[in-house]
Amino acid sequence: MSADKLGQPLRYGGTELPNNVLCAPLAGYTDFAFRRQCYKFGAGLCFTEMVSAKGLLYGSEATRLLLYRGADEPQTAAQLFGGDPLVMGGACAHEALAQYRAVDINMGCPVPKVYKNGEGSALLSDFSRAAAIIEACKKSGKAVSVKFRIGLDEKHIVAAEFAAMCEDAGADMITVHGRTRDRMYAGEPDYAAVAAAKNAVHIPVIANGGIFSRADALNMLDRTGADGVMLARAAMYDPHVFAEVLGARQDWDRRAVIEEQIADMLPVYGEGYTLVQMRKMTAFYLRGTRGAAKWRERLFSCPSVADLRALLGEIFPAEG
């Protein structure tokens, strides 16, 4: 049954997605060049990196770059984080988001500096403020989704109640990460808690956490009844995982993917940022490659994009 469900079109808030296998918003990774690769391999929807609502309103240059969208992106949602309903609502209505028809609100980030500011997963213990944020964002007229964790810890699982609150406040879709804040990214997801969230609402529910393969995705759908799945770390290691999860696994030319990302990034971000970013991404793509540790050592000592490109020819001599 879940095999039939995986890969089906998904609609939320007036937005029609080609399939229900989504790429998570990943701080430091899901820039437009990486998203382009995920879409190429079949992702139904990608999100920007996590963007500060305050930074957006203050006109931060770094925020502007985080929101850069490729001209050929089919549809992408902007992810915002913040703890003030007025600021969040203002950010959604800001001209910087005019190119985005959908906004995702981060209510699950477990990072201490975000949590201590009353943002991200801190909102799991403040239902009224979380609801006010959703309501403020909805006034922008954009489709609004919310990504959250099942609770702060095992003694405070609030997945079902929080899901219902999101729907009542006007959310068009929710993504439930099946771990508590204190578990960060460790351990198996709590499938029962995700299922409870699914059963508490009528809007689409996307399940997130611990999905690295088609088998993982099918297991998640079977055990939760969710309407779709969201991949995170799996995509960082291997963007063509979307093709595999969708049942259309294909060989991928890692060197070509890296070269395409470099070519996309250079005109927008410049040499310095592109070099740092692509050394990092290439290190992820080396997982499983013979001699990966040796290659990574050389990779992180590359002083220029030209040197990085030359090294790619050594690492992947049969590709490209």
Active site residues: 109
Cα–Cα distance measured from residue 140 to residue 231, given in angstroms and rounded to the nearest whole number: 28
User: Which of 185, 27, 237 lies closest to 113, judged by CA?
Assistant: 27
- Nearest alpha-carbon partner for 220 in 21, 77, 16: 21
Instruction: Report d(CA 188, CA 272) in Å as an integer.
Output: 38
The answer to whether residues 315 and 295 touch, using CB atoms and an 8 Å cutoff, is: yes
CA distance 272 to 275: 5
Closest CA to 145 of 90, 105, 178, 93: 105
Residue 231, beta-bridge partner list: 23
Cα angle 134-145-54, degrees, rounded to a multiple of 5: 55
**CA–CA gap between residue 174 and residue 180 (Å, rounded):** 16
- Are residues 152 and 182 in contact, defined by beta-carbon separation less than 8 angstroms? yes
Q: Look-up: residue for tokens 């997982």?
A: 287
Query: Which residues, listed in sequence order, are joined to residue 149 by a DSSP beta bridge?
Result: 177
Q: What number of other Cβ atoms are within 10 A of residue 318's Cβ?
A: 6
Distance CA 160, CA 220 (A): 17
**DSSP calls for 5-54:** HTT--EEETTEEES-SEEEPP-TTT--HHHHHHHHHTT-SBEEPPPEEHH
CA angle 269, 140, 72 (to 5 degrees): 35
